Structure 1
Amino acid sequence: QRSNVSKLEQQRLASRGGNFTSAALAGLAHKADFSKVNLKSTTQPAFTANDLQPWSEKMLLRVKGRRHVQTRLVDPCCASLNSGDAYLLITPTQLFAWFGEFANVIEKAKVQEIADYIIHKGDMGSKATSLTIIEETQSTHLKSKPFFTLIGGEGKIEPYGGDKEDEIYEVNSEAAIKSYKLKDEKLVPHSEAWGKLPSMRMLDTKDSYVFDFGGEMYIWQGKEVSFSDRQLAVRLARTLWDQGYDYSDIGFCPFGPISSASINLKGPRPEWGVICENLETALIQEKFEDWSNISREVGDREEVLKESSRGQLAYYPLILFKIIPYTSPPISPQCHNVWRGHGHIYDDDGRGLLVVTSAVDTWYATEKNMIKVEKPLHGVFHRSETYVVRWKYVVSSTGKWLASKSQPGVDLKAAANGRERTSYFLWAGRDSSVNEKGASALMATEIDKDGGAQITVHEGREPPAFVQCFNGGMTVVDGKIGKREGFYRWHTHYINHCQHISSPKMPCEFQSLRSRSSFILFNGRLAKIVVWHGVCSSKSTRELIMEAANKVMKETKAECLGFRSSCKNAELSVCEEGKENADFSEGMGRVRRTKYVSLLDTPDLTPSVPRAWHLLPSGDHFVAHELPPVLEYPSDENDKSEDVEIFPIIQEQLTELSKPALVLVDGAEGVFLWQSVGGEDMKGSGKRQFDISRRLAMETTINYCKEHRPNCTPMLINEKHEPMEFTNSFPVWLESKQKFSFEERRAKKPKPVAEVLGSLSRLTYSLEELRAPSLPEGVDPNHLETYLSTEDFEKLFQITKEEFYAMPPWKQHNLRKEKDLF
């Protein structure tokens, strides 16, 4: 009957109407025999819960590193400071950030991030409401005096050891991590987190873990661990702590001064160390490689916004970020996708088809009529005009099948030639007028007698089916028909089997050169043609540019390219980057390598294909739409090329996005977050929405770099202020003609994304900062009171935040004006 005691006790308590869980009822029914319990000797030092506090009265955190930033508790004294690192001093009432002269932006941003979390959550036993930032070489003695007073006075600060020091510290700090798991009443080394950062995935709710970081030790226990095992894990951890530390095998002590990190490898634990149990503070969260901190960086502020009466605001959690890949749009004027416009293609059923061009005719539009382009000028397009190109082609069956769709025993014979089909391309130059664009579309219907499809084509984004109509001889020139320019500068692209030469509307300057391509310089006055090959220009590009140059010399359309009619024979010369000839210097001037990104010093560098994503909110997600590569042609299984297009994206794809726009660009020279104009001029809820999207875009950019470009520092750049490292990823980049003052150029210069994000992630500001003429970046001017700490808010308004937001909007508005917070 004794085994039935628990069940009877549960029934008795349930009959009384108690609302207890089964575990609670079982505990109440349990009877323990304390006659065999041995009490702890009073001669031993008492081990109380205070020994497991996850913080102390005064803590100094060192943040150091570049790729995997390490946060460690160090001795709160001046000897721990280093000019290359960032530090956070935590006390019960104050927070101080000390930045060394050479501390990088990632370290600074991490310190501000932890401080904001402490302020907002009251973490680490601190009730501080603001962060005091001290710069080693810029802050005054009066401002830095409280900080040095708390750490025992000023002293000699260790010099910065360079980037190599950060890398060595990252590697050795991870190698010094020791993790244990309670198994068979012993602490056994845990291989999954021994010598590397622990992961949340390894934690099991049924186990106990001890993480030893030298000056810090953490005991993590799952919810299903028994009481006896919990007590045992604490006692064993305390024993391990009392044994001191020993890093003789690694040769590096992670929590001491950098200068003596390889000397003091063994000794007792420091008195300022921390041992805690199951209280995941910001300090231990930073020790895990995948601890979820998204809410504290972005989400918490948005929850505050939702609770206040600001109107409709959306919050897009970064964990829902997803990339929407691009798929090539089909060109199906007559039921078949003829994207390339020639050669073998396959329909949706996998049947092989052959596309052959039978005839191509071109007209250019005026406001009154259409004028047919004569054969000598076939393929020459003026960017101030609009054209109609009639393409006649035949699609016939070849009897072939795709390997993935082939069927055993199927033996089809090639069918006879198919019927002739007709399609019309409406090409519009970049500088053509709206009237001319409308006239070309209207007059195309008059030319059309076969009921062909009409396809609109924009300059710079011509589909392969359009380009192939001119057999590699398509040329785009400036101005209108009949006007001749003295000099032209040309660029060529190589894409599978098609060649496209276009003339950007820009002067002959070195900013336009690309080491990964080839160029032609025309001198119409002296009848000279110079071909310039970049040091990393591919073999196919070189062959195609030479073919294009020879066509210009042979064909009669040279007059449209700036040559005089009297010039019958043009002189052709070829030069390599770094070995420019006199003809090149005559047209371009003195060679200046600093004006463009030259790869002469790294000719063996593997070319990276630029990619770009438009970052924007969509419903409950923050999504990335990949910008389509306008110069990418698909090829069939028997038609593959080793060459890739290294300039698949053009400038217009960015500038034509709806404003304001945020674009993540993984370019040849780095990773950039491009921000269009328009965001600064927004007001009200629209401004706030943009600020949220901007911060999410920055966070996304940093995470992208960590995963795909770990050695790269992402940069934030502004439209009309793009650096040449960014524009080098585009075939042509037309610079803005707008004039900017020195202050404007300085404010818009490229900045590291982490640095800007750190300034935007602050959750609270002082009253003086919010009343300043120039508000901090990212602050909503219509609701400044939300950035005040609870203490400052109640001191200013003499009411709580809950009482304030319970008021009608007009009363809130009057209170803001009365307190000069408007």
Structure 2
Amino acid sequence: MARGDTAHAANDDDTRPPTCNRRPPSTPPAMPARTEDGLWTQHRRFRRTMAAATDPAFKVISPTHTGFHIWRIENMQVVPVPKATWGSFYDGDSYIIYAASEYGKAAAADAKVYQVTGNSMEIHIHFWLGNDTSQDEAGVAAYKTVELDDYLGGTPTQHREAQGMESGRFKSYFKDGITILKGGVESGFNKVTDDFEPKLFHVKGRRQPTVTQLPAISWEYFNDGDVFILDTKEVVFLWIGQGANAGEKLKAAVVAGKLRDDHNASALVFVDDGDEQDMHAGEKKIFNEHLNLSERVIKSAEEAGADDEVESGLRNLLTLYQCEDEDGTYKVVELKSGPLYQSDLHSDGSFIVDNGIHGCWVWIGKRTPQKERTEAVRNAHGFVTKKGYPATTPVTRVVDGGEPTEFRVLFQSWKDKNQMLAVGRSAPGGRVAITVQTKQDAATFYDQPHLAADNQLWDDGSGSCTVWRIKDSELEEVPNKLHGLFFAGDSYVIHYSYWANGTEHHVLYYWLGDQSSDDEREVAALKVEEKDNELGGEALEIRVLQEKEPAHFLAMFHRGILIFNGGYVSADDGEDSEDTGIPQTFLLQVQGNNSYNTRATQVELQASSLNSNDVFVLKGKNNCYVWCGKGSTGDEREMAKHIAEIASKGDFAFVSEGQEKNDFWEEIGGKDEYVSDKRIADGERLPARLFQLFFKGGSIRVEEIINYQQCDLLSEDIMVLDIHDTIYLWIGKDSNEDERKKAVSSAVQYLETDPKGRDRKTPIIQVKQGFEPPTFTGFFPAWDPSLWDEATTFEKLRMQIEEQNPVIKYNGNDDVESGFTSEQSFYEHPKYSLEFLQETPADELPEDVNKLHKELHLSKDDFVTAFQMDYQTFCELPTWKQTNLKKEVRLF
């Protein structure tokens, strides 16, 4: 769209967002009216009345060291938050968070502080606004953030964070998740008192669950997709929704255990959704006092909202705007829609990158006026409001030369030599590609996974290789002499095996030609699944599209691959005396300078197909030539020589561009114009990114994991490791079977919906948990193969807690105390035979029988016969063991 087609103009007052109560229809609940109009009025008031000196609270920051700090606004002052409480926030307060790390390395609340030399520091400042924070406190937080930014030279990235919509980077600082508590400084709710107040907490989130204290204890907040903690004085109850995920359950169990220990509660009781009546009498009495079971109503997870109300990831069409401030009038002018390029930005101005409800970025050029720099976040939020986006839409300000990864990946390519020097093996996801010049066996790559990751090789291609072509919906083996020869009209399956560290590893490729039919492609994918099943499900499955072959695929064939048009049985001229399928005349464009990156692709046999940047092999009716463009290198010419030897099986001559003779032009069909411009070099490689892939309805959603680690790979999930020229699909062993079947198509959808315009031919590699190759593990800062065996699971933690839990004793009186149900109470119940209790339907049992605890109605001898223990021993067992035993003897 041409510049000036649309414009947003407003005076200084017009750019102030309205109060959050004036939100557009059908948007998530917005924050109360306290952060916007008054926030910036407060900002100006402080700038006029407060001293210009930097707040003393910020003087703890060292400009040469990494660091992490949190301050809260208390009585309009910036007050440090004790480190012991980092990760807990009050919804009535405003906070400022400072995170500084070496460029390309993770910042975290618990990260070690150390000195950084040079200009490789990356600094982020966040101001976090609770839903109930006051207008004045929000204004101070905004103003003080600008003051801190000025103190640091205007180079940090600024983030505006809203409660419940925190950015992935913000949440990444707190690996155990964040906790939102009710109250704040003004209300005094957070003050410690001797009077214990029962509380209800909501635990929600797929990756790093957030624990939020609810306004009241009521069934109205419950849904079957999350976990809730009821904290009473006597007992802490953990209520588990049927659809709660593993992360929510584990996080809730840890938090509940801490609450139990903090006020010395008697027990931590697990309550499964729908099994509330199975609690022991004492436990049920306490639970019922706070949450009346007769009023139990549970919403569905869909009614309550997904774990991520706003779809994460890059799923909106990007739009670029330029910001202008002429004669006091601030204008936002639309320049273009994505894909975007780094060259679209220039240092004399400021720009907004609009990614819809997923966030707006304002980029500040080095020569942007100070006023624009200072008010960038305010102006960007005014833009968000005018666009009708929710008030919680993330707003981030980045400066020229200090762009974080999340911003750079919005562009087709990005090159910043100063920063990219710091991104390499030492940084998770960093990739500085190198060329392997000598033979490297698999052991080398497994011992040095960063080397495998940089080059995308798990060995040098010298393993065993079997190739099949899809023919009539079956596999037809390709002879060894034709390995490396492919036809665009066919699809192929390749099984590659190699040994490393005493173990045989398997890789299954399926190569899909551009001209192959959909049926053949589907058959190839199915045959790969069959082969994988034969191999015990341990193989890497790699989808490869023509001309996007990964390095190892090319390395398997040692001298590169040849790709001809048509199918094997329909070569261009239909004549092939040696049954290779290679046509008698052709023109091949050769690209690559070693055996790990060389492919030769057939192009139209005409001069206009030539390109000065590459080398071509021309096989005419009488002669064969290797034509070398002016921009080609010696290594490229050497690889073209090998291709010519394979394709022509005869003599050939080298021809340099500009020195062609008439016989060359005759063989190619006459002179014609061709591309002679120098090819533009690609931008620097961007760091790898990790996403969780999950499904909702008929579409996929992605959630990015910032500063990822191996522990972020959860066994019930499907993850995407995006290294830009390859997509890895990591399949957790406990992931949903239906989602596993959709994994590859979902990865394709992920590529297609990336607004920066991804190549849909990008290779997709399926990696199964426990069988990760070094090309994958090398993108993680550390890799421990035994991590999942040693990890604490919710089931393990629950069993450990329940084994230590006492049963809460209650005999019908009002008194409830910790202990075990007495044997005397057992004898007070009427007795019936074991057979009668087993065979009689529940609705036909006598009224004096406790239908949930039929074991109480057995005689002493029948009880010992049924359970092989006396009643007192039975009562000392954890509830889950009692339940299992009752099921075994058919008394449940």
Band the TM-score falls in, shorter-chain normalisation: 0.3 to 0.5
Q: When the two structures are superposed, what TM-score results if normalisation uses the length of structure 2?
A: 0.30
Q: Which has the larger radius of gyration?
A: 1
Q: When the two structures are superposed, what TM-score results if normalisation uses the length of structure 1?
A: 0.32
